[in-house]
């Protein structure tokens, strides 16, 4: 269980909650945060905070009602509004519950296009699974060994949501009690009722102003949700209530009806060529002049015989100011067009900036008792020349420095999975995973949990991985805290969903925080091990943020739409 103790700083064990918040003075002087601090902080007041409920008391009902299939989003929206209204006379007088009403749509519509059409003042979330075509499915192999077929929702591509039927947020680190509070609203019999959200990289660290609305963690079950499947779609509405939290069934229905009236059924397909903005300024924290000495300092500590540190990940944020506001959903759609081999996500609590990302890295996926993770480390650019690209791949596979960095990550994850699983399979031991702009060393790891209730222990064991923090984790965290002069927030934290049947989390890297009138903060990090070179690491940071900056470095035409979907 040593690996669990290493991660104890990153997830909470103390169940006593408080309302204080720690704001770092060192983060409060940037133009981004000075402007943000003048905005009135908005709490999640449109529903109930499930963390305040009694997780030991089961809900009165958790159910899903499926309507007849509809041909278009417009017809589905009308049918859903009618069904929500009918609930007033249909539901029994229970003191608590969750009900999802879903309307299948007989055409595949991209969830991100639906989200773009919705009122941007609503809390928003988006989660798109990556394509794993061509890689072994270790979870499916485990399910087959155990005599079941795995998840019934394997063809779910993307989910977009607005509003919150119930949310979960606190300023203290995510604890086992918080996990039980979320699980109280979930059931394997309603597998698409899910809580989407994320956690800070270091929940005990000081919170800067721009990250304040996210708390130490934030999850929400959307009020209105659009599911994109392979070949079809689905529009759904969810209401949750608990009289003990002073949020009655009548309150939930009224709030949902108000949200449904704002839902747009006119879905526009986005152009993904440009955002129509130009960069006015770009500043890095740290600057190149500060970053080089930071890397040298880390290398000096790694080389010390008395130090146990073998790797530390040093990050950078790049603040860009643009001539007009960046639309975070349009930006995400653009990332999605070249990121089929990555997760895309958007998380935006009420009154908060939008945290978006295009991350290639899975933290874990749970399907019943099966759990899968992966090691991803070391970076090289791609080349348009096939011959040159293969040459770069060979260099990556044979580099001693990169093999060291990758092996640290893989063996640490293997050790952590061994602490919570009966057996762990590693397949392959090492290969190259090619993305649109970069390529990494890669391996999959999977195991069988001893109990389904061990899901919280997956997070406690796996976050943070050496790929985003270092090894040992606590030594690396302390050095990061000493060296980095900005708040990572949810950058490099777990981003994903909890569900009754399955859960899945990505690592929130290759990400940006976008706020109206303030431009964006783009985050990236590199692993420092023996043999690292400051100049190469700085170039790697530029390479990693290039997917965000490529579309807004130059003057571009305004984003338009191609087609209306009725």
Active-site annotation, residues: 311, 361
3 state DSSP class of 186: coil
Radius of gyration of the chain, Cα coordinates, nearest whole angstrom: 23
* Residue 189 to residues 61, 180, 416, Cα–Cα distance (Å): 11, 17, 30
Alpha carbon distance 491, 511 (integer Å): 7
3 state DSSP class of 258: helix
Instruction: Tell me whether residue 411 is exposed, middle or buried, using C-beta atoms within 10 angstroms of its C-beta: 0 to 12, 13 to 18, 19 or more.
Output: middle
- Of 192, 193, 171, give the one whose Cα is nearest residue 184: 193
* Residue 537 to residues 34, 294, 313, 508, 533, Cα–Cα distance (Å): 30, 11, 10, 20, 6
Alpha carbon distance 86, 91 (integer Å): 9
Alpha carbon distance 192, 185 (integer Å): 12
Cβ-count burial 419-434 (b if 16+ within 10 Å, e if not): bbbeebbbeeeeebbb
DSSP string, 330-380: HHHHHHHHT-TTSEEEEEE-TT--EEEEEE--EEEEEETTEEEEEEEEEEE
Q: Are 446 and 413 in contact (CB under 8 A)?
A: no
Alpha carbon distance 532, 379 (integer Å): 12
Q: Are 222 and 196 in contact (CB under 8 A)?
A: yes
Q: Are 193 and 500 in contact (CB under 8 A)?
A: yes
Residue 497 sits at the vertex; the CA angle it makes with 495 and 502, to the nearest 5 degrees, is 135
Alpha carbon distance 294, 483 (integer Å): 7
Number of Cβ atoms within 10 Å of the Cβ of 119: 12
């Amino acid at each position: 269980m040593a690996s669990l103790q290493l991660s104890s700083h990153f997830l909470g064990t103390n169940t006593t909650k408080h309302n204080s918040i720690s704001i770092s003075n060192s983060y409060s002087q940037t133009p981004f945060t000075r402007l943000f601090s003048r905005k009135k902080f908005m709490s999640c007041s449109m529903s109930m905070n499930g963390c305040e409920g009694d997780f030991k008391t089961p809900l009165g009902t958790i159910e899903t009602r499926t309507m007849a299939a509809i041909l278009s989003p417009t017809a589905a929206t009308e049918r859903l509004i009618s069904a929500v209204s009918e609930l007033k006379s249909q539901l029994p007088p229970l003191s608590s519950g969750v009900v999802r009403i879903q309307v299948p749509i007989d055409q595949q519509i991209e969830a991100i296009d639906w989200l773009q059409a919705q009122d941007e003042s609503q809390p928003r979330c988006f989660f798109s699974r990556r394509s794993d075509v061509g890689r072994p499915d270790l979870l499916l192999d485990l399910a087959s060994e155990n005599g079941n077929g795995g998840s019934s929702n394997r063809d779910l591509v993307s989910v977009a949501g607005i509003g919150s039927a119930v949310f979960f947020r606190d300023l203290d680190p995510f604890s086992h009690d918080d996990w039980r509070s979320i699980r109280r609203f979930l059931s394997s019999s309603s597998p698409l009722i899910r809580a989407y959200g994320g956690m800070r990289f270091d929940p005990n660290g000081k919170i800067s102003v721009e990250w304040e609305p996210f708390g130490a963690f934030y999850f929400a079950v959307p009020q209105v949700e659009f599911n994109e499947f392979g070949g079809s779609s689905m529009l759904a509405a969810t209401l949750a209530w608990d009289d003990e939290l002073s949020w009655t069934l009548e309150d939930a229905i009224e709030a949902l009806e108000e949200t449904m009236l704002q839902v747009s059924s006119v879905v526009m397909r986005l152009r993904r060529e440009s955002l129509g903005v130009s960069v006015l300024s770009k500043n890095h924290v740290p600057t190149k002049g500060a970053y080089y000495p930071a890397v040298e300092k880390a290398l000096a500590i790694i080389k010390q015989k008395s130090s146990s540190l073998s790797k530390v990940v040093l990050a950078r944020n790049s603040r860009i100011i643009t001539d007009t506001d960046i639309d975070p959903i349009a930006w995400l759609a653009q990332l999605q067009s070249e990121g089929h081999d990555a997760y895309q996500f958007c998380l935006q609590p009420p009154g908060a900036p939008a945290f978006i990302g295009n991350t290639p890295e899975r933290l874990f996926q749970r399907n019943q008792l099966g759990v899968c993770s992966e090691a991803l480390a070391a970076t090289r650019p791609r080349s348009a020349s096939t011959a040159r690209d293969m040459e770069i791949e060979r260099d990556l596979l044979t580099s001693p420095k990169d093999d060291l960095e990758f092996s640290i990550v893989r063996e640490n994850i293997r050790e952590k999975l061994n602490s919570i699983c009966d057996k762990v399979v590693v397949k392959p031991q090492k290969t190259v995973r090619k993305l649109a702009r970069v390529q990494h060393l890669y391996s999959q790891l999977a195991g069988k949990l001893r109990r389904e209730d061990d899901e919280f222990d997956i997070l406690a064991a796996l976050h943070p991985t050496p790929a985003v923090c270092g090894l040992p984790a606590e030594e690396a965290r302390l050095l990061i805290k000493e060296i980095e002069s900005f708040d990572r927030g949810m950058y490099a934290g777990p981003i994903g969903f909890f569900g009754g049947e399955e859960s899945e989390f990505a690592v929130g890297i290759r990400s940006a925080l976008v706020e109206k009138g303030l431009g964006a903060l783009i985050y990236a990090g590199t692993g420092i091990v023996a043999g690292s070179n400051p100049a190469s690491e700085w170039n790697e940071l530029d390479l990693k943020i290039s997917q965000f900056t490529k579309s807004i470095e130059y003057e571009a035409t305004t984003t338009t739409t191609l087609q209306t979907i009725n």
